[in-house]
Amino acid sequence: KRRFPNEPEYHQAVHEVLESIEEVYNQHPEFDKVNLIERLCIPERIFSFRVTWTDDKGQVHTNMGYRVQHNNAIGPYKGGIRFHSSVNLSILKFLAFEQTFKNSLTTLPMGGGKGGSDFNPKGKSNAEIMRFCQAFVTELWRHIGPDTDVPAGDIGVGGREVGFMFGMYKKLSREFTGTFTGKGLTFGGSLIRPEATGYGNVYFLLEMLKTRNIDIKGKKCLVSGSGNVAQYTCEKLIQLGAIPVTLSDSDGYIYDPEGITAEKLAYVKELKELYRGRIREYAEKYNCKYVAGGRPWNEKADIALPSATQNELNGDDAKTLIANGVIAVSEGANMPSTPDAVNVFIDAKILYAPGKAANAGGVSVSGLEMSQNSERLSWTETEVDNRLKVIMSDIHENCVKYGKGADGVVNYVKGANIAGFMKVAKAMMAQGVL
Ligand code: NDP
């Protein structure tokens, strides 16, 4: 905190991991001899740069651009790009730190990184988005590559933005390589990549429910967010007979007691993808409740899947969820629960999966996209989906292995952190002091 003041999100993420791994770390004095913890917490490299772009009226704007290359002990840096007005180094450092352990959990050879800009994509035209992406990559391109650092999407960056960034990267590098993932299907993208984070989260939830013989069918689910992760979380829940009843965005949330059906979800996708509409419009169309400025955690349900952003669920929200009978919380977003909320879930011994385990499906299929690009082959939807299921089940097994307490209850936070940490730590030890 002394060295990196004013970085609360980064401190929060580091604190949680250090707390979980303390016991195993102390069992390995050789780690401390080479100052492993400090080396693991401080990013290997950070780039920050100015991004200058021109809007449709000819006005010139400047934004900040960043790439945090956190750790490449087990593979090339890998992690998304976020475009959101709130982006700063604290947020990107927390995300890159989390990504390192998440990628380690996926069983695939990927290191951790994250990047982005404080550019606000809301209300921008297609041409403005393209010019911004091109300006961003004009600087970023020299720091990335298929064996160096492979970015993908995140908040505010979907298939369209990845396409524009990949196009500019290809032009500058004069090579067609798999340097971005989340690409369009016609130029090296993988089937199931758009769906992977949301689907993967539900696959992880199913594994957790299995440990207590609970059927997902008929369970009411609170989902927050209404972007990529929230949409495909709902899609899989609906396919499995669960009933998502909420969605949100930064302006408020909707509560649809009848349940969000496949047809209604198709409308949400259209609303969000085609003209970046507000979730309020859902309530107007389907005549249901809309709470301006609110978050969905006060509504009664069985399961919660926070899928919007960091720290969107606090200790009081967690207590309300528990009082309302929630049996499981599975995080689609990164660090959506505050430390207080995490403690409430763990004390209540409900099934609680932290994002670095539950939302690892996205980066896993990104890893599979990298494999397909290297082979210059495309796998079928069934093959990718089956691999995703196996990966989520393996992550779950690893969490149980390291997180099961004497009372038989699994602490998935501890399990995920220890499993993720041990692999990276062993790789760093083997590669010497760097
Ligand atoms: P999108 O941009 O597609 O959607 C984000 C959603 O969250 C939008 O509904 C947005 O509302 C809402 N949101 C964003 N910021 C805030 C905020 N400060 N307060 C309230 N609502 C907010 O992003 P994704 O769905 O891709 O990402 C969602 C989360 O999942 C993030 O935490 C991301 O890091 C994580 N994640 C994503 C992966 C992926 O593959 N895409 C992989 C793993 C994790 P609005 O439109 O109003 O801004």
Predicted confidence (pLDDT) per residue in 88-123, tens digit: 999 999 999 999 999 999 999 999 999 999 999 999
State mean pLDDT over 37-51: 97
**Residue of the nearest CA to atom 21 in ligand 1?**
250
pLDDT (tens digit per residue) in 138-147: 999 999 999 9
In a domain, 98, yes or no: yes
In a domain, 12, yes or no: no
Residue 337: DSSP 8-state: B
Q: How far apart are CA 352 and CA 405, in angstroms?
A: 14
**Vertex 4 angle, CA 3 and 6, to 5°:** 135
Instruction: Output the CA 378–ligand 1 centroid distance in Å.
Output: 28
86 phi and psi, to 5 degrees?
-85, -5
Q: Is 78 annotated as a binding residue?
A: yes
406: burial class by Cβ within 10 Å (0-12, 13-18, 19+)? Answer: exposed
**Residue of the nearest CA to atom 15 in ligand 1?**
309
Instruction: Output the CA 164–ligand 1 centroid distance in Å.
Output: 20
In a domain, 406, yes or no: no
State mean pLDDT over 263-268: 98
Cβ contact 370:150 at 8 Å: yes
Mutate which of 93, 97, 250, 271 for ligand 1? The one with the most ligand atoms within 8 Å of its CB, which is 250
The domain boundary, picked from 319, 337, 358, lies at 358
Asked if 339 and 213 sit in the same domain, the reply is yes
What local confidence, expressed as pLDDT, does residue 369 receive?
A: 98
Cβ contact 211:227 at 8 Å: no
Asked if 165 and 202 sit in the same domain, the reply is no
The domain boundary, picked from 358, 373, 394, lies at 358
- The CB of 311 under 6 Å from ligand 1? The reply is no
Tell me the average pLDDT of the chain: 97
Residue 37 — very low, low, confident or very high, per pLDDT cuts 50/70/90?
very high
Q: Is the dihedral of CA 247, 163, 187, 379 positive or negative?
A: negative
Asked if 172 and 202 sit in the same domain, the reply is no
Percent of the chain topping pLDDT 70? 100
Count: domains in the chain: 2
**Residue of the nearest CA to atom 28 in ligand 1?**
308
Q: How far apart are CA 299 and CA 131, in angstroms?
A: 41
Asked if 115 and 221 sit in the same domain, the reply is no
Residue 274 — very low, low, confident or very high, per pLDDT cuts 50/70/90?
confident
Told to judge if 114 belongs to the known catalytic residues of this protein, a careful annotator would answer: yes
The b/e string for 107-120 (b: 16+ C-beta within 10 A; e otherwise) is: bbebbbbbbbbbbe
- The CB of 366 under 6 Å from ligand 1? The reply is no
- Asked whether the predicted pLDDT for residue 400 surpasses 90, the reply is yes
What local confidence, expressed as pLDDT, does residue 61 receive?
A: 98
State mean pLDDT over 370-377: 97
DSSP per residue, 141-159: GGG-BTTTEEEE-BTTB-H
In a domain, 32, yes or no: no
Q: Confirm whether the ipTM is greater than 0.95.
A: yes
| CB-based contacts of 266, cutoff 8 Å, min separation 6 | none
CATH number at residue 137: 3.40.50.10860
Q: How far apart are CA 279 and CA 159, in angstroms?
A: 21
Q: Is 246 annotated as a binding residue?
A: no
**Residue of the nearest CA to atom 31 in ligand 1?**
333
**Residue of the nearest CA to atom 41 in ligand 1?**
154
Residue of 133, 7, 120, 107 whose CA lies nearest to 391: 107
What local confidence, expressed as pLDDT, does residue 275 receive?
A: 75
Asked if 137 and 224 sit in the same domain, the reply is no
pLDDT (tens digit per residue) in 418-429: 999 999 999 999
Asked if 146 and 217 sit in the same domain, the reply is no
Asked if 257 and 354 sit in the same domain, the reply is yes
In a domain, 205, yes or no: yes
Closest ligand 1 atom to residue 156 Cα is 2
- The CB of 200 under 6 Å from ligand 1? The reply is no
Q: Domain of residue 55: give its range.
A: 43-178
In a domain, 392, yes or no: no
Cβ contact 178:332 at 8 Å: no
Asked if 162 and 252 sit in the same domain, the reply is no
Q: Is 99 annotated as a binding residue?
A: yes
- The CB of 334 under 6 Å from ligand 1? The reply is yes
H-type helices in 258-380, by residue range?
Answer: 262-275, 280-286, 315-323, 339-348, 355-358, 361-375
Asked if 151 and 246 sit in the same domain, the reply is no
Choosing from 114, 183, 220, 414, the catalytic residue is: 114
What local confidence, expressed as pLDDT, does residue 273 receive?
A: 83
What local confidence, expressed as pLDDT, does residue 276 receive?
A: 80
The domain boundary, picked from 178, 207, 238, lies at 178
Q: How far apart are CA 398 and CA 353, in angstroms?
A: 13
Asked if 216 and 145 sit in the same domain, the reply is no
Closest ligand 1 atom to residue 310 Cα is 32
Q: Is 59 annotated as a binding residue?
A: no
- The CB of 233 under 6 Å from ligand 1? The reply is no
- The CB of 153 under 6 Å from ligand 1? The reply is yes
In a domain, 363, yes or no: no
- The CB of 237 under 6 Å from ligand 1? The reply is no
What local confidence, expressed as pLDDT, does residue 1 receive?
A: 80
Q: Is 414 annotated as a binding residue?
A: no
Asked if 212 and 171 sit in the same domain, the reply is no
- The CB of 225 under 6 Å from ligand 1? The reply is yes
Asked if 170 and 126 sit in the same domain, the reply is yes
In a domain, 370, yes or no: no
pLDDT (tens digit per residue) in 408-420: 999 999 999 999 9
| CB-based contacts of 293, cutoff 8 Å, min separation 6 | 251, 252
Region of 316 on the Ramachandran plot (φ > 0 left; ψ -120 to 50 alpha; else beta):
alpha
Instruction: Output the CA 82–ligand 1 centroid distance in Å.
Output: 9
CATH number at residue 343: 3.40.50.720
- Asked whether the predicted pLDDT for residue 155 surpasses 90, the reply is yes
**Residue of the nearest CA to atom 3 in ligand 1?**
227
pLDDT (tens digit per residue) in 163-179: 999 999 999 999 999 99
**Residue of the nearest CA to atom 7 in ligand 1?**
308
State mean pLDDT over 355-369: 98
State mean pLDDT over 255-280: 94
- The CB of 398 under 6 Å from ligand 1? The reply is no
- The CB of 90 under 6 Å from ligand 1? The reply is no
